[in-house]
Amino acid sequence: MALTIPESMEECLYFTNRSLGENGNLLAWVYRKECPKCKKDKMGKPVNPKTGRAKPRSLEYVCPGCGHTEEKAEHEATLMLEAQYTCPECGKDGEGSTPYVRKTFKGVKAFVIECEHCGEKIPITKKLKAIKKKK
């Protein structure tokens, strides 16, 4: 599949580097999407003019070049999460991608990558969210 690892955080909408148990790790990212209208700039959250930083709670994405806007839900549904990992079950290195939509996995919202070697599901939960145990 040969995924390309991002050079900087500026080209990513989402990025995480985690360890999975004792012998697994995961590097996952989502590239920013090119503007569908002008096809020159990358879409991003609107910038606060006073601070110069993106507004994290904004419900839309804006092109800095032409000003084209898209709703957050429809914009994020078109994105793909890419991941490079070492599987905690089989110990082999692999790559995978999944839509940028959180699914419920064992009671917790998570992006789910499937190991290309053993088929084990690898969840990418929000930080500090533990997967629920069965009683």
Q: Which residues are paired to 28 by β-bridges?
A: 16, 83
C-alpha span between 123 and 112 (Å, rounded):
5
pTM above 0.85?
no
State both tokens at 60: 């839309």
Q: What are the tens digits of pLDDT across the range 10-40? A: 888 889 998 888 888 999 999 988 888 888 8
For the cut 70, the answer to whether the pLDDT of residue 79 exceeds it is yes
Q: What are the tens digits of pLDDT across the range 91-121? A: 889 999 999 998 898 888 899 999 888 888 9
State both tokens at 65: 């070049």
Q: What are the tens digits of pLDDT across the range 67-77? A: 888 898 888 88
Domain regions of the chain by residue span? 1-33+79-135, 36-48+58-77
The secondary structure of 55-96 as a DSSP string is -TT-SEEE-TTT--EEEHHHHHTT-EEEEEEE-TTT--EEEE
